[in-house]
Amino acid sequence: MSDLERIIRQYQPTEAAVALVRDTKIALLAGISGAGKDTIKKRLLLLPAFCDIVSHTTRPPRLNDSRPEVDGVDYHFIDLATADQMLQRHEFIEAKFVHGTVYGTSVAELKAIHDDGRTAITDIDVQGVAEYEAMSPDCIAIFIVPPDFKTWMTRLKSRYATEAEFQAEWPKRRNSAIKELAHVLEVSYYHVIINDDLERAVRVCREIIERGDVFVRQDDEARLVARDLLEVLQAEG
């Protein structure tokens, strides 16, 4: 284990950072790969009330939907030395070390959104959601699911140029989805919504963020869809 990875594993935000999280309206969008959380986030960010939490990363920029990623828009791109300095100075709210790459959310990034009086929004994995919820149960956690297994597979396969590429990635995608769905069904803080119609999904996400817990029946229906997906995936093995 590298020194940087060890620092990240032991990393704890400062009390001031936790207080900032608690004092900022934060919407966390999670979902299995291909459920549509990125598209929903982009649509919400067209509204002036929302502002993206742009993470820091030590990986180089790459193509995203055939366009080059932009520093400060897709990520704040930094080198390992800068990441180490920021960790030592406790400038992150949370940080992760994934396959040799550092990802983190800076205190300065969230403070700028807070001071602007806007709702911070980000797409994030379930581990990240759990970390935010531990700091502030008032964070709004939304988990996006496709309407059924067949639709999900069609969306997922459309991301790959060939069937062979998809099959090479499928075991990893399947295992991740199983873990994520099982976790979401075990905890109570998620609003689960079905992305069967983009306009509706965006509207429901917006209303949940703005109005709170007003979709109890729909949430129950979405959890049944999530459970069905989980059972299909488990049977695939």
Catalytic positions are 62, 159, 173
DSSP 47: S
Nearest to 130 by CA among 177, 180, 55, 91: 180
> Strands 76-77, 63-64: parallel, antiparallel or unpaired by DSSP?
unpaired
Buried b (16+ CB within 10 A) or exposed e, 86-115: bbeeebbbbbbbeeeebbbbbbebbbebbe
139-170: b or e for each residue (b if 16 or more CB lie within 10 Å)? Answer: bbbbbbbbeeeeebeeebeeeeeeeeebeeeb
Within 8 A by CB and 6+ apart from 222, the residues are 145, 192, 193, 194
Burial status of residue 171 (CB atoms within 10 A of its CB: 0-12, 13-18, 19 or more): exposed
Amino acid (one-letter) located at 100: G
C-alpha span between 212 and 214 (Å, rounded): 6
Q: Which structure tokens are listed for 76?
A: 């704040």
Torsion of CA 62, 64, 70, 74, to 10 degrees: -110
